[in-house]
């Protein structure tokens, strides 16, 4: 990192005593929390943090900023002075770790190097000072192995195979059992791997080791797996990572030493109590990698009660200080406890709801804060199905319940196969001895993850919980052979790749074959009420349901946005109402014309004269009227926004190619083709190259006389019938694909005449608002004019996204979206989450212009974005009145609407809420 020496260099390096947890953007999450623990007076090994600003500069310019090298040298010298030891000292060397630390936790995605400072001379000094040859040489081989893989980019398998060969030749099972002579030979083998792989010797200069390790951590921000993880978690690529340089605490220093990971509550279930893993005579990476099965944290009490008591006391202090579940990494070196990391812990969806409400009941946080600590995504996870029973006679093993849920799929033994099979439509279970960061793509693709090694804090468990994936870890009775692509049970049963497995992440059970699933208890709560959902629930499930109920009630109390549902049938409408929908925001009438009714529309479109057209319309009227009666009954008293027919024309006509072939074959056989030929001529006349931008929406209603009038009449007669039955129908008529006020005025004039005629004939009152969908950029830009006629706007963000980007969704998603996501053109698909800068800006413009013309203009959204959590927050900000989504997403939208209101109040300073980001 070549630099100059400016007079007043910017600070790029912070001692742990200089920062605090509020500086996560600058110091990264790990660095900020190490600084916070230092300020709290907890036992933290000294060290310093290189800022994210330095990383961003390095990645942009290929070298560090001016002043960085000098600041690192100064802080290193300060560490040496404080510790009374020097890096590389052959008598008593100082050793440090170099770890990444991004703003948001990215477990295992970036690099870590331990034991920096060891070389051929200092390893002997470490052995003499510690009085332990095994500890010193084990630390040296770990350094070369980690440095070779992460810094020098050598294949990790080369080192692993050498380690396995050495254990085999020594006749031992674990690395801690290797004799000193074997460790020395292993160091020589590792150095030869470095020499052959790089053409250079392993670096003996400890300051060069430190410099190269820091560079490696910077570079690791942009590795494929790190970028993939950030896309999965929606973490911006622009943040960069901090680098933490910290004095080593040795968990592998022999008797009285060890390392562990602890949580202040169970991150899987939310249960209170001691939770975590501990490995004796090991370094921290051993626990996370899961290469040895750890002891439950409770066992530490019997091993070293003083250290255990201090750890529990520290955990309590941290949870009270952070006011949330804390994830802690610690090392015990010869009886001395050292805190290596803390952060607000990742948790499962169930744990998030339970912990939030627990903290409210303990007086730690408010209900507002509890609402902000759960997400719509987590609520959606809780609504997934669960296994009907865990009593299947096909149970073949059991591991640790690392991440809850029910997953069924075909067995695969490597990440690439998981990705390939999933892309082909298969549900897969990724089976590994243990996972590592290179398995991330397969973990994302898989329905569930099963490992035979590792614990609840292993890489597989932590990443799975963060992604909401079902996972069972540490199923020791299952022998996984990834080379042979088989898994063998204790009873000798062989499970091959492609066989079906079912894994229960809530219990840890593993089953051969497909176990039936049933509806989630949380879905039962929404559909049948609290009492019904609690009837057969066990204690943890009951606690969860009660927590969901309390938070949902608070979200409903806080939210400004109403939540409606997109529903086309009485059954959908009824379910939506049970889910808490406050009306229907989109009833797509074209769906009512599919199946047998399609022929009526075909007759209408192909009618040659007024008589044929009238006959077709008269056949459709009673069918439409009956549809609307049933839906208005299901949503009695609530608004029902009915979109007049809006299909691409080709959906109601025979396929041109198929029809032409049929006519040609009939002619060749000498058959009568007059009817089909007439149909073919009409289809040819109406054929469109781009039906999505052709004769549809308002255009179809204007071109086909009587079509919209038929629908308006059916709605009006249905409403009159419901009024006579004592109901309270609240229909709203929505005109689709409007681009100009003239189009809208023509339809409104026709509709108003029909409504008056039906009202007069039936003696009923029909005051239906008539509005339009805003789904074309021109409509958004001329919204002020359109609002002169429209009484409400509903944003059709699916089509608005297509027409703004110039996309045909059915074509582009498979054609190039994956490449756009990979290259960073999209952070997320614009059909999944609203494009705020483009489509969102059109929404904002339309709302503002529309309300300048009509101040009381009612505005909502009925595209798929209405159920997307991030998009809901935007819709709240721009002042929409409601969102509408699928019935199943209604609870998610209600929750996020409540969170959006709180978020808006927090940003404006109206309320004080401490937000806890667990990404």
Residue among 55, 326, 862, 885 flagged as catalytic: 862
The DSSP symbol for 838 reads I
Non-local CB neighbours of 838 within 8 Å, separated by 6+ positions:
804, 805, 830
Cα 299–Cα 453–Cα 157 angle in degrees, nearest 5: 130
The DSSP symbol for 396 reads E
Cα gap 873→868, rounded to integer Å: 9
Q: How many CA atoms lie within 13 A of 421 on its CB side?
A: 22
193: tokens are 């791997």
459 is catalytic: yes
Task: Answer yes or no: are the C-beta atoms of 696 and 647 closer than 8 Å.
Answer: yes
Cα gap 757→745, rounded to integer Å: 18
Q: In angstroms, what is the C-alpha Rg of the chain?
A: 33
Q: Where are the beta strands (DSSP E) in 413-512?
A: 428-432, 448-451, 470-473, 479-481, 486-488, 494-496, 500-504, 509-512
How far apart, in Å, are the Cα atoms of 372 and each of 326, 465, 830?
17, 19, 25
Cα gap 814→831, rounded to integer Å: 13
Closest CA to 722 of 866, 795, 626: 626
Cα gap 651→648, rounded to integer Å: 6
3-state secondary structure 683-727: HHHHCCCCHHHCCCCHHHHHHCCCHHHHHHHHHHHHHHHHHHCCC
Distance of CA 885 to the CA centre of its chain: 19
316: tokens are 């309590």
507: tokens are 């219990």
Cα gap 457→273, rounded to integer Å: 16
Distance of CA 63 to the CA centre of its chain: 34
**Helix boundaries (H) for 266-382:** 284-289, 300-303, 305-322, 349-361, 367-372, 376-382
Residue among 55, 134, 326, 459 flagged as catalytic: 459
862 is catalytic: yes
Cα gap 219→277, rounded to integer Å: 31
For the chain, the distance separating the N- and C-terminal CA atoms, rounded to the nearest angstrom, is 32
What is the phi/psi pair of residue 138, to 5°? -65, -40
Cα gap 798→801, rounded to integer Å: 5
Task: Answer yes or no: are the C-beta atoms of 486 and 494 closer than 8 Å.
Answer: yes
How far apart, in Å, are the Cα atoms of 437 and each of 110, 156, 804?
8, 12, 38
For 502, the 3-state DSSP assignment is strand
Concatenated DSSP letters of 221-278: TTSHHHHHHHHHHT--TTS-EEEEEEE---TTSSTT-EEEEEEEE-TTT--EEEEEEE
Cα gap 493→317, rounded to integer Å: 48
The number of beta carbons lying within 10 Å of the beta carbon of residue 906 is: 16
Task: Answer yes or no: are the C-beta atoms of 258 and 284 closer than 8 Å.
Answer: no
491 by Cβ neighbours in 10 Å (0-12 / 13-18 / 19+) ranks as exposed
Cα gap 357→486, rounded to integer Å: 44
181: enclosing H helix or E strand: helix 180-198
Q: Which residues are catalytic?
A: 459, 862
């Amino acid at each position: 990192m070549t630099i100059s020496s400016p007079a007043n260099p910017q600070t790029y390096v912070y001692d742990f005593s200089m920062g605090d947890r509020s500086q996560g953007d600058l110091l990264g999450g790990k660095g900020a929390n190490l600084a916070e623990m230092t300020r709290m007076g907890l036992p933290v090994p000294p060290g310093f943090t290189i800022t994210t600003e330095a990383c961003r500069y390095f990645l942009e310019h290929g070298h560090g900023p001016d002043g960085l090298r000098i600041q690192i040298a100064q802080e290193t010298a300060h560490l040496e002075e404080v510790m009374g030891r020097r890096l590389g000292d052959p008598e008593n060397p100082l050793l440090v770790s170099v770890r990444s630390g991004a703003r948001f936790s990215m477990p295992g995605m970036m690099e870590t190097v331990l034991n920096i400072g060891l070389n051929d001379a200092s390893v002997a000094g470490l052995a003499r000072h510690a009085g332990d040859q095994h500890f010193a040489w084990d630390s040296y081989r770990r350094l070369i192995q980690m440095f070779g893989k992460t810094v020098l980019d050598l294949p990790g398998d080369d080192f692993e195979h050498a380690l396995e060969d050495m254990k085999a030749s020594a006749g031992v099972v674990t690395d801690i059992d290797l004799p000193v002579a074997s460790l020395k030979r292993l160091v020589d083998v590792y150095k030869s791997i470095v020499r052959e792989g790089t053409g250079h010797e392993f670096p003996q200069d400890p300051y060069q080791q430190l410099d190269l390790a820091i560079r490696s951590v910077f570079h690791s921000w942009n590795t494929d797996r790190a970028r993939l993880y950030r896309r999965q978690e929606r973490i911006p690529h622009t943040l960069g990572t901090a680098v933490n340089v910290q004095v080593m605490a040795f968990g592998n220093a022999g008797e009285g030493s060890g390392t562990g990971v602890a949580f202040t509550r169970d991150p899987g279930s939310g249960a209170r109590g001691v939770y975590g893993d501990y490995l004796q005579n090991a370094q921290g990476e051993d626990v996370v990698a899961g290469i040895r099965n750890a002891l439950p944290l409770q066992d530490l009490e019997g091993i070293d009660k003083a250290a255990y008591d201090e750890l529990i006391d520290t955990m309590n202090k941290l949870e009270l200080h952070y006011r949330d579940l804390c994830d802690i990494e610690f090392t015990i070196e010869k009886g001395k406890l050292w805190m290596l990391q803390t952060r607000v812990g990742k948790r499962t969806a169930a744990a998030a709801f339970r912990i939030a409400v627990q903290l409210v009941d303990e007086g730690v946080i408010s209900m507002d804060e509890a609402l902000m600590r759960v997400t719509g995504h987590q609520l959606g996870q809780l609504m997934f199905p669960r296994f009907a029973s865990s009593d299947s006679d096909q149970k073949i093993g059991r591991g640790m319940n690392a991440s809850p849920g029910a997953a069924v799929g075909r067995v695969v033994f490597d990440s690439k196969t998981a990705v390939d099979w999933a892309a082909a439509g298969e549900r897969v279970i990724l089976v590994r001895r243990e996972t590592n960061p290179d398995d991330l793509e397969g973990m994302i693709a898989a329905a569930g993850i099963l490992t035979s090694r590792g614990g609840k804090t292993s890489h597989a468990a932590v990443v799975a919980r963060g992604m909401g994936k079902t996972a069972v870890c540490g199923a020791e009775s299952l022998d996984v052979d990834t080379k042979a692509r088989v898994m063998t049970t204790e009873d000798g049963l062989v499970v091959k790749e492609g066989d079906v497995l079912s894994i229960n992440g809530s219990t840890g059970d593993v089953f051969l074959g497909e176990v039936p699933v049933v509806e989630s208890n949380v879905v039962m709560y929404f559909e049948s009420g609290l009492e019904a959902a609690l009837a057969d629930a066990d204690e943890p499930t009951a606690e969860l349901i009660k927590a969901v109920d309390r938070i949902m009630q608070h979200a409903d109390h806080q939210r400004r946005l109403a939540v409606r549902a997109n529903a086309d049938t009485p059954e959908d409408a009824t379910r939506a109402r049970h889910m808490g929908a406050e009306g229907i925001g989109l009833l797509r009438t074209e769906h009512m014309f599919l199946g047998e009714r399609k022929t009526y529309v075909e007759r209408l479109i192909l009618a040659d004269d007024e008589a044929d057209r009238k006959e077709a319309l008269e056949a459709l009227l009673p069918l439409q009227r009956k549809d609307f009666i049933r839906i208005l009954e299901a949503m009695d008293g609530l608004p029902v926004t009915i979109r007049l027919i809006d299909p691409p024309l080709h959906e109601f006509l025979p396929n041109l190619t198929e029809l032409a072939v049929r006519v040609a074959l009939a002619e060749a056989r000498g058959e009568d083709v007059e009817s089909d030929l007439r149909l073919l001529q009409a289809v040819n006349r109406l054929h469109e190259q781009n039906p999505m931008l052709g004769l549809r929406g308002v255009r179809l209603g204007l071109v086909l006389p009587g079509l919209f009038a038929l629908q308006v009449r059916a709605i009006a007669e249905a409403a009159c019938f419901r009024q006579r039955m004592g109901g309270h129908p609240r229909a709203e008529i929505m005109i689709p694909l409007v681009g100009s006020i003239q189009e809208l005025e023509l339809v409104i004039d026709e509709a108003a005449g029909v409504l008056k005629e039906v009202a007069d004939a039936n003696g009923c009152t029909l005051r239906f608002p008539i509005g339009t969908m805003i789904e074309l950029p021109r409509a958004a830009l001329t919204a002020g004019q359109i609002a002169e006629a429209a009484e409400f706007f509903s944003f059709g963000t699916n089509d608005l996204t297509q027409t703004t980007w110039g996309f045909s969704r059915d074509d582009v998603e498979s054609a190039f979206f994956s490449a756009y996501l990979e290259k960073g053109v999209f952070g997320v698909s614009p059909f999944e989450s609203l494009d705020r800068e483009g489509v969102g800006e059109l929404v904002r413009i339309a709302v503002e212009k529309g309300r300048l013309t009509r101040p009381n203009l009612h505005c909502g959204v009925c595209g798929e974005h209405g159920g997307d959590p991030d998009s809901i927050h935007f819709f709240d900000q721009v002042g929409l009145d409601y969102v509408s989504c699928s019935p199943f997403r209604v609870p998610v939208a209600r929750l996020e609407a409540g969170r959006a209101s709180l978020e808006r109040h927090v940003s404006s300073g109206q309320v004080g809420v401490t937000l806890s980001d667990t990404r």
